Chain A
Amino acid sequence: MYDLFSNLAMGFGVVFQLAPVDLGFAIVPIPMNVVYCLLGALVGTLIGVLPGVGSVATIAMLLPITFGLPPTGALIMLAGIYYGAQYGGSTTSILVNIPGEATSVVTTLDGHQMARQGRAGPALSIAAIGSFAAGCFATILVAALGAPLTAMALKFGPAEYFSLMVLGLIFAVVLAAGSLVKAIAMILAGLMMSMVGSDLESGVGRMTFGLAEFADGIGFVVVAMGVFGFAEIVRNLEATAESRDILHAKITGLMPTKADLKASAPAIIRGTLLGSIIGILPGAGAVIASFAAYTLEKRVSKHPERFGKGAIEGVAGPESANNAAAQTSFIPLLTLGIPPNAVMALMVGAMTIHGIVPGPQVMTKAPDLFWGMIASMWVGNLMLIVINLPLVGIWVWLLRVPYRLLYTSILVFCAIGIFSINNSSFDVVLAAGFGVFGYWLIKHSFEPAPMLLGFVLGPLMEENLRRAMLIARGDVSVFFTRPISGGLLLLSAVLLILAALPALRKKRAVLVED
């Protein structure tokens, strides 16, 4: 317990550290990390508000912007974008009935109904309060679980790492929308494509088609930007001009009533707990958390018929859950070095660009970065609640930017972003190719998220598989006889079988599609 607080204190020390900044007329000490955190949270809210701009594409787009920053500042900012997006998404869901993010789709159900009944204010503030409460809890959870999980991770050998990644990928399969087999196919496609480039051991170029540009492999930003950024744009262009019935009524009375608070407090607690657990699980993330929380609220409610007609629990539960999950999904990344979802996969890339190898050694080698990032999450959440409610008007006004101007601007930004990572024109064209591939995937109802996860985990998996096999002198049974590794594989198998069982398959379909 004492350790926890001293570590958190160190983290807050890092966040509030003053750095001398030359403002032109004077050198002023400014807590730069707070500034980065604020910037990240604001950008995150912005993209959360704008429909059709997801957090994966934005973080990929903004990676080059963080090149010039110190690593801690860069990661604080990127993390801020992710959880900021969870706040922003709820705003538009409630006011305009357009979910800005996939994570706030369920919030439209009851949130927008509340707004129609003239209770937009309480809906917005409950969403913010719920998110904040969840954020506080998740921050402490990340801090508390960080040290023990890291200690456990240090005992992991290559076989355990491999099995853990298998488990992560199986989670991604089980929780993906649609068909199980298709999700597995997507993961394998990602794994295979990640093998392009030089072999780590022998240095030979693999599957490069003789192109020098492939020698370093395919950049994950290229894939992410293609299948998430460009493909999304193309898909959105297909939809005819959507009518955005912006709520013109003035938002009066932000404060929820006592009855509102009483009704939503247990929902916030349930949502936070559920979201925290789902966030830690590899392969899941905030989308599933919000859907699960809504289902749970409906299940435990004494009046389930109120849901969909403006029940405040239907806002409080999912909004707390998605924010909690967004934050706890940092746990596997920071302690084990394994990204549990597409956004965290991008964070791996960001860390690598800044020369940090994600994994258990981050906590011991760069404690200021580790704890600084965790503390920044709490600071960011506090800033979000203070900033966002007064700024609601601005966010709604931003929604009037027509998509025809938005997508062209996003394309230019993406192109510059991809280009600046390696100064490579080839990467830009390749991303366009992946955009077409992503569009094809959507048309054939394949999920791109498991593919990106497979793509990121591929090299790690190969390395650990190779090492494990070498140590065991070619004996495959090592994965099953070592207790931790065997347990993880057993768990993966059980999960896969459970998900394939007809009874559960139906439930999963309901949960995912609802």
Chain B
Amino acid sequence: MSDTTQPASRQRKLTTGHHTLDWWAAGTPLLLALFAAESARHFDPASGIGIFQWVLCAALAGLAVVIIALRVDVTNHRDYYGGLALIGLALLGLWAGSDLAGMRGFSFGAGTAPRLFACGLAITAAIVTVTGLVTEGEPLGKYAVRGPFFVCLGVTAFALLIRGVVFDWNGATIKFPAFGLVIASLATFLISAFASRETRWVESIITSVGLTAFCWFLFVWMLGLPFQIWPTFLLAR
């Protein structure tokens, strides 16, 4: 508990000038401003939501300009980039839902509630972003690459192997055959084992076989879930 929470961030003055220009800090809001403009394009500029998005676009562009012009030093990276990313998420929601009907008289349209939540998110995220400029916080921890990469790869491998997937992309079809539960769970186990530096292979291989047998016993034999177990397309020949 105590190690996950950061100490209450200290208040400090906005430091400007005599710093090197932080391109990331300026570029991120600029990029988001462009996205906001693209998203606002779909709305009637006179409607509330249209005005909101254009204001957001202007504010983001303004932030970028201020950071470039005054060489603002970002002191709370967690909050600054965290807030910006959530603004991005809100914009993504507005953009993805731009085709939805709004209010009709006093009855909600399909798009009303999503937009309500997205605008709320954008506003609170903007506050978080500003907090990132005026408070001092812990620096961003280093991102591990190995762990997340192999965990995701292992899980994705499961998704591909268990059932077989057909990708249909501009007419080109790629068919991925179904390998079944046994191969999928072995693959997931062994691929994700790469995520840790402590893995010992003999031990992992033995455990993966045991676990696969247990999964088969539990999910297929005991619970009767309808899984394909073996790669039938190979065995059929």
Contact = CB atoms under 8 A, between A and B. Distances in A.
Interface string A420-433: 10010110110111
B47 interface: no
A458 B204 contact: no
Interface string B119-163: 011001101100100000010110110111001101110111011
Interface stretch (B20-28, B57-65, B67-75, B92-100): B92-100
Contacts of B56: none
Given A192-B118, A230-B151, A185 B100 contact: no
12 contacts: A408-B154, A411-B188, A412-B158, A412-B215, A429-B155, A432-B151, A436-B148, A443-B141, A444-B79, A444-B85, A465-B113, A509-B8
A403 B200 CA distance: 12
B143 A209 contact: no
- Looking at B110, B204, B212, B226, the one whose CB has the most chain A CB atoms below 10 A away is B110
Q: Chain A binding site: helix, strand, loop or mixed by DSSP?
A: helix
A293 interface: no
A470 interface: yes
A188 B9 CA distance: 23
Contact of B117 (A181, A195, A415, A428): A195
A92 to B, nearest CB: 15
Contacts of A475: 106
Contacts of B188: 408, 411-412, 415
Interface in A388-405: 402-405
A352 interface: no
A177 B4 CA distance: 9
Contact of A473 (B106, B110, B211): B106
Contacts of A206: 97, 100, 110-111, 114
Nearest to A288: B1
A106 B165 CA distance: 47
Contact of A435 (B6, B128, B138, B152): B152
A300 interface: no
B189 interface: yes
A408 B141 contact: no
B158 A428 contact: yes
A234 B151 contact: yes
Contacts of A462: 108, 113
A439 B148 contact: yes
Nearest to B160: A425
A420 B219 contact: yes
A184 B144 contact: no
Interface stretch (A63-71, A133-141, A355-363, A489-497): A63-71
B107 A469 contact: yes
Contacts of B223: 64-65, 67-68
Given A416-B219, A469-B108, A408 B158 contact: no
Interface of A: 64-65, 67-68, 102, 105, 177-179, 181-182, 184-185, 188-189, 191-193, 195, 199, 201-202, 204, 206-209, 230, 233-234, 237-238, 241, 287, 291, 402-405, 407-409, 411-416, 419-420, 423, 425-426, 428-429, 431-433, 435-436, 439-440, 442-446, 458, 461-462, 465-466, 469-470, 473-475, 505-506, 509, 512-514
A104 B12 CA distance: 36
B195 interface: yes
A204 to B, nearest CB: 5
Contacts of A446: 82
Given A177-B5, A411-B151, A425-B165, A185 B125 contact: yes
Given A195-B113, A405-B203, A415-B188, A431 B155 contact: yes
A436 B89 CA distance: 15
B155 A411 contact: yes
B196 A407 contact: yes
Given A204-B110, A432-B151, 7 more contacts: A181-B127, A195-B114, A233-B147, A238-B144, A415-B155, A444-B79, A474-B105
Interface in B203-235: 203-204, 207-208, 211-212, 215, 218-219, 223-227
Contacts of B106: 469-470, 473-475
A507 to B, nearest CB: 12
Contacts of A177: 1, 4-5
B198 interface: yes
A408 B207 contact: yes
B199 to A, nearest CB: 5
B168 to A, nearest CB: 11
Contact of B193 (A192, A238, A404): A404
B100 A237 contact: no
B53 interface: no
A512 B121 contact: no
Given A181-B127, A415-B159, A465-B108, A443 B148 contact: no
A98 to B, nearest CB: 13
A206 B94 CA distance: 11
- Looking at A182, A201, A461, the one whose CB has the most chain B CB atoms below 10 A away is A182
Contacts of B78: 443-445
Nearest to A417: B219
Contact of A189 (B79, B86, B140, B199): B86
B87 to A, nearest CB: 10
Nearest to B95: A207
B185 interface: yes
- Looking at B146, B165, B188, B204, the one whose CB has the most chain A CB atoms below 10 A away is B188
A48 to B, nearest CB: 16
B189 A411 contact: yes
B204 A405 contact: yes
Contacts of B81: 444
B144 A105 contact: no
B90 interface: yes
A415 B212 CA distance: 13
Contacts of A408: 154, 188-189, 192-193, 204, 207-208, 211
Contacts of A64: 219, 223, 225
A106 to B, nearest CB: 8
Contacts of B159: 415, 419, 425-426, 428-429, 432
A31 B165 CA distance: 43
